[in-house]
Amino acid sequence: LYLQGKSVHGPFINQEIKIYHQLKKIEVATKIFKNPVPFQEIYVSFPFAIHDPRFHLASVNATMEPITDQLPGTTTDYYSEHHGLSISNGESTIVWNSIEAPVLKISELWPGYVSQAHHGITPDNYVHDFASDFNKSSIFSYVSVNNFRTNFSPVYAGDMLFRHSFTSYSGNYDPGKSNNFGWSDSNPLLPVIVNGPQSGELPTSYSFCSVTNSENIKVVSLKAAEDSEGLILRLAETSGKQVSA
């Protein structure tokens, strides 16, 4: 599905929505051409329809529930996802992931509680209380901002491409299912073309290493040791569960 549109300072906005036949995944690629206009914020919104939502954010080798897992007084205006954001209400779960734009806002377009000295134009409702609950299941991907007057250029222009994808599954939030989608979407398989027939046979599937309990154990890296004596294998447990692998 191809969509074309424009905004006040974006004369060209092209969006491609891809739905797979045998894979439960929807991809949204948004290409924006931005005019050289200062003090502008751009978002791509995803207004999902889940009542009484709870959010779980896959950060760097850890999963957190916004607000619940935060220290008092820390911001709820912005978050940064590493391997996806899950929205669940006990009946169904949506897993959303961003490739180029990891910063997002949950539920509403919060004005952004940063130092007023940073703003070129101070947003409305700049002074506000941090959220105590997210009662809307919308996600706003924060794809572009130049509303600064410090050490950032106030003007930039050109083509920008932002890719997002999401899937869903029935039931409550499952860290294994959600993390698997986020990791696989952020680290897709890289195809290699081999020209002409090759001698010998290969098995149906092959990997340099395999891990049991792969639902919540991820291979982060496999590399040669610096002293050339053996290999270094790094694993990460992504569900918060004690497990042997």
User: Which residues lie across from 59 on neighbouring strands?
Assistant: 62
pLDDT of residue 116: 63
pLDDT of residue 39: 80
Q: How far is CA 110 from CA 1, 127, 172, in A?
A: 31, 11, 27
pLDDT at 31 over 80: yes
pLDDT, one tens digit per residue, over 32-73 is 998 888 888 889 999 999 999 999 999 877 889 999 999 988
pLDDT of residue 125: 74
Long-range contacts of 217-223 (CB under 8 A, 24+ apart): 217/243, 217/245, 218/179, 218/183, 220/61
Give the rounded distance of the alpha carbon of 171 from its chain centre: 21
pLDDT of residue 79: 94
Assessment of whether the complete model's pTM goes beyond 0.95: no
Residues 218 and 126 sit within 8 Å (Cβ to Cβ): no
Going by C-beta distance under 8 Å and a sequence separation of 6 or more, which residues neighbour residue 196?
none
Among 95-99, 203-207, 226-230, whose mean pLDDT is lowest? 203-207
pLDDT at 219 over 80: yes
The mean per-residue pLDDT over the stretch 171-198 comes to 87
pLDDT at 122 over 80: no
Going by C-beta distance under 8 Å and a sequence separation of 6 or more, which residues neighbour residue 46?
96, 138, 139, 140, 141, 164, 166
Q: How far is CA 94 from CA 39, 109, 222, in A?
A: 33, 20, 31
pLDDT of residue 97: 97
Q: Cα separation of 123 and 103, whole Å? A: 18
Q: Give percent of the chain above pLDDT 90.
A: 48
